[in-house]
Amino acid sequence: MFRRVDQLQGKVAVITGGASGIGRALAARCVDEGMEVVVADIEEEPLAATAEELGVVGVRADVADADSVAALAAATIERFGAVHLVCNNAGVGGGGLIKDLTLKDWKWVVDVNLWGVIHGIHAFLPHLLQNADGGHIVNTASVAGLVAGPGIGPYNAAKYGVVAISETLAAELAAEGSSVGVSVLCPGFVRTNIFTSQRNRPAELRNEQKKSAARTANQQIATQLQEVGMEPPAVAAQVLDAVRHDRFWIFTHPEYLANIAERAARIQAAGTTA
């Protein structure tokens, strides 16, 4: 079987949301593997600090903006002449009961978490397909893209979309015998800044009203769970291993597989009793 990007040294990686959390850990891991790395992020100061500390190229990019991601791709190709690994990793957290959400809540979360992945694929896939030595796309979804819990409707919807797009793209590329592979990362709780991502919310998508008590409580619970979450470097190690072995699914927390199986069983049961 043709292995896509099993040799990482000297290859070029682009990582969105690369200034902190999983993205920063991925960048550090790629550097350790001898790759040329471009990290993209919307936060200028953390981006500059990460680029300097890791010795990588930093490019400010807003993944919700197609032109910004296209410029990121152009800058990468101009600098290195090619790209081999694209990690569409940038994401934001947003919670609250659906009955309490505004359209601004929906738009912000979906624009970053779903459209950010779409923009990344659209901008970089043509370059990956041109590589004689193949390429790989890693899309960051979530366990919430496979089991929808309450209180994070927009996040669930976006992550389900990321999983669906990744499955579709993988099937299409495989059918063509493409040398470009696809993985979807479905992490559980990881120690990142995702629960403070309101700091990057555009002014035009902020709500005027104060947070509801339910939304505040939901964030507090999520923050407590995050504090006992997995460290980002452990996630990065799993991602690079999946890229090397052309593995589609990346589950950081196997304990959630039971919840996924229960959901599948409920669907199957509903179909057999209809």
Phi, psi at residue 33, to the nearest 5°?
-85, 0
Angle at 92 (CA atoms; ends 142, 258), nearest 5 degrees: 20
Q: What is the DSSP letter of 177?
A: T
C-alpha dihedral (164, 112, 182, 28), degrees to nearest 10: -150
Of 264, 268, 271, 25, give the one whose Cα is nearest residue 147. Answer: 264
Q: For residue 27, what are the contacts with CB-CB under 8 A and spacing of at least 6?
A: 13, 15, 18, 37, 39, 50, 54, 56
Angle at 134 (CA atoms; ends 47, 245), nearest 5 degrees: 85
Residues noted as catalytic: 155
Of 111, 130, 251, 236, give the one whose Cα is nearest residue 186. Answer: 251
Identity (one letter) of the amino acid at 53? E
- Residues 218, 224, 227, 233: is their CA dihedral positive or negative? negative
E strand or H helix at 268, and its extent?
A: helix 257-272
Q: What is the DSSP letter of 194?
A: G
Helices 153-175 and 103-113: crossing angle in degrees, nearest 10, is 30
